[in-house]
Amino acid sequence: MVGLIQVYLRCGCRLGHSALYSHSTALIGGKRFNAGERLLLSVRCGSVITMVRDGRSVYGLLKKLYRVVCACDQLIDLAVVTWFPFPDYPDSDPLTVTITLNGLDVNHITETEVVPLYDIQPSRVGVEIDDEHDSMQMLRMEGTDTMPVL
């Protein structure tokens, strides 16, 4: 494992010379998001986030939140996310979003990625799980998805 002293941030500071804080809640665009919640059958899960990546909207589960205070006094807010499979748009409409699970248990995805907190869109997301079709319907409370160009 690489020592923290060897990890450099974008500002050029070494992580080993910086302070690292963990948080369970973040405000993104005035919306509250909670790290570490399990995806449950409910109207809204505070851990489901959306982001535009490679020109299309993607959804994920927020696992952890970190703030780095660099040696140069910059604040860097980071999120650890597990991504769901790419969404489909069965009605060719950015408001109708389906994610096919193919047997995937979204609460036990082990792959994670660290993303800047400012890349997450401030849109609360409701989730409906359709066990019969092994899928989820994502219901954005604000905004619309950026659909892939076909």
- What CATH number does the domain located at 20-140 have? 2.30.30
Q: Let me know the angle formed at the C-alpha of 32 by 31 and 37, rounded to the nearest 5 degrees.
A: 140
Q: What are all long-range contacts of 71-76, with beta carbons under 8 Å and residues at least 24 apart? A: 71/13, 71/14, 71/17, 71/18, 72/11, 72/12, 72/13, 74/11, 74/13, 76/9, 76/10, 76/11, 76/116
**Would you give per-residue pLDDT tens digits along the chain (150 residues)?**
344 455 667 777 777 777 888 889 998 888 888 898 887 655 556 789 999 998 999 999 999 998 888 888 888 888 999 999 999 999 998 988 999 999 998 888 888 898 989 899 998 888 888 889 999 999 888 889 999 876
Query: Encoding tokens for residue 30?
Result: 């005035």
The strand pairing partners of 25, in sequence order, are 34
pTM: 0.85
Residues 6+ apart with CB under 8 A from 111: 82, 83
Note the pLDDT of residue 6: 56
Would you state the pLDDT for residue 41? 58
How many CB atoms sit inside 10 A of residue 136's CB?
Answer: 23
pLDDT at residue 150, as a whole number: 64
